[in-house]
Amino acid sequence: MDIDVRGPRFGAAVTSVVLAVVLVTGSAWLLAWQTLAFALGAAGGVGRSPYGWVFRKAVRPRIGPPTEFEAPQPPRFAQAVGLVFAGIGLVGYTLGPDWLGLAATGAALAAAFLNAVFGYCLGCEMYLLVRRVAVRAE
């Protein structure tokens, strides 16, 4: 079943704010929260993430029904990519080196920002590229 394209973009906007605060404060706890949000989105789809829940319960009723849909697999893959970067960032912030936490969190922020502001999902594009390569390899 296809999903409302505005949901992942809302999640990316919230994620951008969270990751920006992590970079400013160095809060490993806040990055741990974002890592959990990515894990839930990767495991159950973006609608099962905390930001997906907020979108579904509080935002979508106020902005009306969707007019554009997308397949759920690319955003779910993007959540898994975010999980990897947030996990690496968490390792950097908690165990070191600090530059690893900054770099991985910065990369995740860049990807989330692109999706939130421009509607360009790097993880989704990666998913489509992997699918094309897999089809050609068969």
Q: What letter does residue 5 receive in the DSSP assignment?
A: T
Give the model's pLDDT for residue 95: 97
Q: Is the distance from CB of 119 to CB of 9 less than 8 angstroms?
A: yes
Query: What integer pLDDT is reported at residue 137 of this predicted model?
Result: 81
Cβ–Cβ under 8 Å, residues 69 and 3? yes
pTM for the model: 0.94
DSSP assignment, residue 69? Answer: E
**Domain of 82?**
3-137
Q: From first to last of its 138 residues, what are the pLDDT tens digits of the chain?
A: 899 999 999 999 999 999 999 999 999 999 999 999 999 999 999 999 999 999 999 999 999 999 999 999 999 999 999 999 999 999 999 999 999 999 999 999 999 999 999 999 999 999 999 999 988 887
| pLDDT given for residue 138 in this prediction | 77
Show the tokens assigned to 21.
Answer: 């605060």
Amino acid identity of residue 49, one-letter, is S
Q: For the chain, report the end-to-end CA distance as a whole number of angstroms.
A: 26
How many domains is the chain partitioned into structurally?
1
